[in-house]
Amino acid sequence: MDYSYFRMKRVAAVIGVMLLNPAVTFAEEDTDALRRQLTEIRQQMQHMQQSYTQQINALEQRLVGLESKSDNSATTVNSTAISSPSTTTTSNSGFKIGLSGLFAGGGSSVDNDALEGLQGGAHDPNQNGFTVQNVELSMGGTVGPYFDAQANIIFQIDADGETVVELEEAFFTTRSLPWGLQVKGGQYFTEFGRQNPQHPHTWAFMDQPVVLSRFFGGDGLRSQGVRASWLMPTDWYSELYFGVQNPKGETVTSFLNAPGEDIGGHTLIDRDTRNFGDLLYTARWLNGFDLSDTLSMNLGVSGLWGPNASGTATDTNIVGADLYLKWQPVYSQRGFPFISWHTEILQRRYEAGDPGDPSRKTLKDRGLFTQALWGFKPGWVAGLRAEYASADGNTSTDPLRDTRKRLSPNLTWYPSEYSKVRLQYNRDWTEHLPSKTADSLWLQFEFNLGSHAAHVF
Amino acid sequence: MKKLFRISIGLLLLMTSLTNHAVLRVVTTTQDLTSIAEAVGGEQVQVQSLTPGTRDPHFATAKPSMIRKVFRADLLLVIGTDMEIGWLPPLLQSARNTQVQPGNPGYLDLSNGVPLLGKISGPVSRAMGDVHAKGNPHYWLDPRNGVHMAQAIATRLSKLDPSHKDDYQRRFRAFAQTMDNKLPAWHAELAQLKGKPVIAYHKSFIYLADAFGFRIVDEVEPKPGIAPSAATLSALVARIKAKHIHLLIMEPYYERRSASYLNEQTGIRVAVLPQSVGAQPDINSYFDLFDAIVASLNNTIGK
């Protein structure tokens, strides 16, 4: 034991008291008296600390007892045989709360009306000037031994300056089902492809891919329902997802979108779910491979089947494939450098109009986006995205179905993991705009407060 | 209803025990833990690390293959003190393996069994950079802590697999004995470093300094995780000259330009130290790690 430390502390304390009380003289007796008093105070403090520690330990013991009683299947709580100098146990069961804000500013060669058609995502920068893209409050944690839960609430300011509040997601997931099964239920982003379930602040580009805006609407595909997933006992990572969700609303636009909206010349009617056949069925198969120590690959296919509101017996089917490759060298600092490549291709078959309707036809749309990121030094990422979307038939005047191409280079700087600044240029080629092309430049800023567990594998 | 539930749980447990494999599957977050677990577990365990020793374990790349490993694990060994906070919690959620969730016997946080340095009392702000309030997580760089870690692993393995308890205890004693034999030699080789001021790139060598008696008086990073600017570097040059610091230590995965600059300006010697098992191809065990660190320090100061 090194006692000099305590002596120094005592001297420091005495000096501190003298400084605080200018009336104190340097008389020897006074210092002695002070020393005695300080020793007493210290002893009292130590005594208090000891008794508190004992009380806390006793409470902890009782809690542990209660927990093991309330949970028969849970096994006994761990206790390391060695005396542990630190009594804190790591736990991710705490309630976590986080706030992220995403803002953009910039301008385009076209006016705000034209921009609305070009920037189809609800979180895209979509006006000359400033856009509050997304302010997201996320909360989550472990409910108990059996469930985790999470909720994400979005605040936005629309182009008219009105504040919009949305319940983006609120769902539970199971923790302890056997055989690699997991069930998720509530309101959640459909696991279709890699991009759709991601939240705007984790996107690699500041706007939603064109084909996703077209097929899933500005907010991405999300709805109320339940899905089960199965981590299969294969030698590589392989997971199957099956789900069923409500097909109705503005966040499932290719299905029972709001009545009065229009698709390919068909005005949507008010159609309700009457039986199991009128629900939205979702499926996904995701595989992951480590090709080498430095290269990994994810390969997925997804499908959606559900009713649409262009008639009383009409259906929509969307299928997609996604590929993600990531390279990181053996030596890397803070996750840099890296190169990633993400590509998705989607196709939609939309039955428009009931049988017998003279204007009945099947609308066929397709689209793809491919994006590469290069993290060239810690905190710096350069990106390039190319997109294409088109549809069968004469669709040149329809901003949601014409032939669209977009090329977007960008540069992102992360001052820390909790903030970013991004500059992005969009070159658009369209059929529906008189100018046929558009050039836009945007600057984005993001902050993250608290914790947000939204990592994508 | 409750009875039915219990019976079904019982059946489930029976099925899992019937399909139980002879070898315990141990998954670790770093290769240092892998090496110690292999030393203690021997042929009774099969150990896999989630991250390679060449990469900064704070910033692991989350890959689906990790989900697969954690899903099949009987025991998960973690460094703790929030080192894996950026990637382990979502991984644990995706892996859907109840046994290795925190609080269950299949989850062992090794930081609970070692004396942690650098704990922060008082307010912690992100303005301070990457600060670990629960303590500095680089504790495996003190070889004495390796013994604590081996003991904790032996105790836990004995609990999960009581039939091989004697094997685990025997191997732990052998591990501790090897350490007892090696420590005096390492100390002797680094004798000239005792009490000397040293500068580190990142706040990751405080345990190593504590173990071998040198003093880390400054870091190249102005705040943990924040890269040095030109201004910080020129201020460092002045401090290195004023305090007569002759050694800079850093991990292999940090940028070397700052160190080269400081070397040119002040003549300070730079030792690039492996921070983990696997950081260099020839470091295959926890003992190799300290052999390599001691050799590298010796080469640098002896030049």
Distance of CA B123 to the CA centre of its chain: 26
Residue A292 is assigned to a structural domain of this protein = yes
Q: A421 or A53, which is more confident?
A: A421
Same structural domain, B30 and B133: yes
| pLDDT for position A230 | 95
Residue A77 is assigned to a structural domain of this protein = no
Same structural domain, A250 and A352: yes
For B224, nearest residue in chain A (alpha carbons): A416
**Closest CA relative to residue B84, chosen from B104, B126, B56:** B56
**Chain B residues within 8 A of A138 when measuring between CB atoms:** none
Integer CA distances (angstroms), B266 to B28, B201, B221, B261, in order: 41, 16, 17, 9
User: Per-residue pLDDT tens for B7-41?
Assistant: 555 555 554 444 455 799 999 999 999 999 999 99
| pLDDT for position A214 | 94
* Residue B99 · residue B70 · CB < 8 Å: no
Written as six digits, the tokens of A58 are: 């006793």
| pLDDT for position A161 | 84
Same structural domain, B101 and B130: yes
CB distance B148–A88 less than 8 Å? no
Same structural domain, B139 and B68: yes
3 state SS for B226-245:
ECCCHHHHHHHHHHHHHHCC
Partner residue opposite B151 with nearest CB, options A82, A92, A331: A82
* Whole-number CA gyration radius for chain A: 29
User: Per-residue pLDDT tens for A133-189?
Assistant: 899 999 988 888 889 899 999 998 887 888 989 999 999 999 888 999 999 999 999
Q: List the 254-293 stretch of B: residues with Cβ below 8 A of A.
A: 254-255
Same structural domain, A49 and A164: no
Same structural domain, A255 and A310: yes
Q: How confident is the model at residue A279 (pLDDT cuts 50, 70, 90)?
A: very high
A86 touches chain B (CB under 8 A): yes
| pLDDT for position A48 | 60
* Residue A238 · residue A232 · CB < 8 Å: yes
Residue B223 backbone class (left: φ over 0; alpha: ψ -120 to 50; beta: rest): beta
Same structural domain, A101 and A58: no
pLDDT, average across residues A228-248: 94
Which residues, listed in sequence order, are joined to residue A284 by a DSSP beta bridge?
A241, A302
Residue A289 is assigned to a structural domain of this protein = yes
Same structural domain, A15 and A161: no
Residue A411 C-alpha, separation from nearest chain B C-alpha, in angstroms: 19
Q: What gap in Å lies between CA A304 and CA A255, rounded to an integer?
A: 10
Residue B293 is assigned to a structural domain of this protein = no
CB distance B58–A328 less than 8 Å? no
Q: What gap in Å lies between CA A392 and CA A402, rounded to an integer?
A: 9
Same structural domain, A23 and A161: no
**Closest CA relative to residue B39, chosen from B50, B26, B29:** B26
pLDDT, average across residues B264-283: 92
Same structural domain, B136 and B21: yes
Residue B280 is assigned to a structural domain of this protein = no
Query: At residue B6, does pLDDT exceed 80?
Result: no
Query: At residue A406, does pLDDT exceed 90?
Result: yes
Residue B58 C-alpha, separation from nearest chain A C-alpha, in angstroms: 7
* Residue B6 · residue A72 · CB < 8 Å: yes
* Residue B58 · residue B275 · CB < 8 Å: no
Same structural domain, B113 and B154: yes
* Whole-number CA gyration radius for chain B: 21
- How many domains would you assign to chain A? 2
Residue A418 C-alpha, separation from nearest chain B C-alpha, in angstroms: 9
Same structural domain, A331 and A385: yes
Residue B27: CATH number of its domain: 3.40.50.1980
Residue A85 is assigned to a structural domain of this protein = no
Written as six digits, the tokens of A165 are: 């509040």
CB distance B112–A290 less than 8 Å? no
User: Per-residue pLDDT tens for A248-275?
Assistant: 988 999 999 888 888 888 888 888 888 8
User: Per-residue pLDDT tens for B220-237?
Assistant: 998 887 888 889 999 999
A231 touches chain B (CB under 8 A): yes
Same structural domain, A11 and A108: no
Which residues, listed in sequence order, are joined to residue A444 by a DSSP beta bridge?
A104, A422
| pLDDT for position A271 | 87
Same structural domain, B62 and B162: yes
| pLDDT for position A358 | 85
**Chain A residues within 8 A of B225 when measuring between CB atoms:** 334, 416
A74 touches chain B (CB under 8 A): yes
CB distance B63–A178 less than 8 Å? no
CB distance A453–B68 less than 8 Å? no
Residue A107: CATH number of its domain: 2.40.160.10
pLDDT, average across residues A12-21: 46
Residue A92 is assigned to a structural domain of this protein = no
Contacts of A39 (CB under 8 A, 6+ apart): none
Residue A256 is assigned to a structural domain of this protein = yes
| pLDDT for position A276 | 86
Least confident of A382-391, B19-28, B125-134, B138-147: B125-134
Query: At residue A402, does pLDDT exceed 60?
Result: yes
Q: How confident is the model at residue A42 (pLDDT cuts 50, 70, 90)?
A: low
**Closest CA relative to residue B27, chosen from B86, B108, B115, B85:** B108
Residue B218 C-alpha, separation from nearest chain A C-alpha, in angstroms: 20
Element (H, E) at A299: strand A295-307
Task: Provide the number of CB pairs (under 8 Å) joining chain A to chain B.
Answer: 163
Residue A32 is assigned to a structural domain of this protein = yes
Residue B281 is assigned to a structural domain of this protein = no
Same structural domain, A66 and A121: no
Query: At residue A62, does pLDDT exceed 80?
Result: no
Residue A351 is assigned to a structural domain of this protein = yes
| pLDDT for position B9 | 59
Q: What gap in Å lies between CA B64 and CA A238, rounded to an integer?
A: 9
Residue B131 is assigned to a structural domain of this protein = yes
Residue B142 C-alpha, separation from nearest chain A C-alpha, in angstroms: 16
Query: At residue A366, does pLDDT exceed 60?
Result: yes
CB distance A290–B114 less than 8 Å? no
Partner residue opposite B102 with nearest CB, options A90, A293, A418: A90
First to last CA, chain A: 49
Query: At residue B121, does pLDDT exceed 80?
Result: no
Same structural domain, B177 and B28: yes
| pLDDT for position A332 | 81
| pLDDT for position A32 | 66
Q: Which residue do the tokens 């704990």 mark?
A: B119
Residue B292 is assigned to a structural domain of this protein = no
For B93, nearest residue in chain A (alpha carbons): A175
Q: B271 or A63, which is more confident?
A: B271
CB distance A457–B66 less than 8 Å? yes
CB distance A288–B68 less than 8 Å? yes
Same structural domain, A136 and A11: no
Enclosing domain of residue A13: 4-70
Q: What are the DSSP E strand ranges found in B54-162?
A: 75-78, 107-109
- Burial profile A342-370: b = 16 or more Cβ within 10 angstroms, e = fewer: bbbbbbbebbbbeeeeeeebebebbbbbb
**Chain A residues within 8 A of B228 when measuring between CB atoms:** none
Residue B278 is assigned to a structural domain of this protein = no
- How many domains would you assign to chain B? 2
CB distance B94–A88 less than 8 Å? no
Contacts of A275 (CB under 8 A, 6+ apart): none
Same structural domain, A142 and A216: yes
Residue A193 C-alpha, separation from nearest chain B C-alpha, in angstroms: 15
Same structural domain, A165 and A263: yes
User: Strand B24-28 relative to strand B75-78: parallel, antiparallel, unpaired?
Assistant: parallel
Q: How confident is the model at residue A54 (pLDDT cuts 50, 70, 90)?
A: low
Same structural domain, B94 and B196: no
Considering A54, A70, A86, which residue would you say is the last residue of a domain?
A70
pLDDT, average across residues B141-150: 95
Provide the edge-to-edge strand list for the sheet that holds B75-78.
B45-49, B24-28, B75-78, B107-109
Same structural domain, B71 and B162: yes
Residue A146 C-alpha, separation from nearest chain B C-alpha, in angstroms: 9
Partner residue opposite A231 with nearest CB, options B71, B104, B135: B71
* Residue A134 · residue A200 · CB < 8 Å: yes
Distance of CA A337 to the CA centre of its chain: 23
For A78, nearest residue in chain B (alpha carbons): B105
Same structural domain, B112 and B215: no
Our CA dihedral for A421, A427, A432, A436, rounded to 10 degrees, sits at 140
Enclosing domain of residue B90: 16-181
Same structural domain, B228 and B125: no
Written as six digits, the tokens of A202 are: 């984790």
Contacts of A165 (CB under 8 A, 6+ apart): A153, A154, A155, A156
Q: What share of chain A is helix, strand, coil (3-state, %, to 5)?
A: 20, 45, 35
Q: The whole model's pTM is what?
A: 0.79
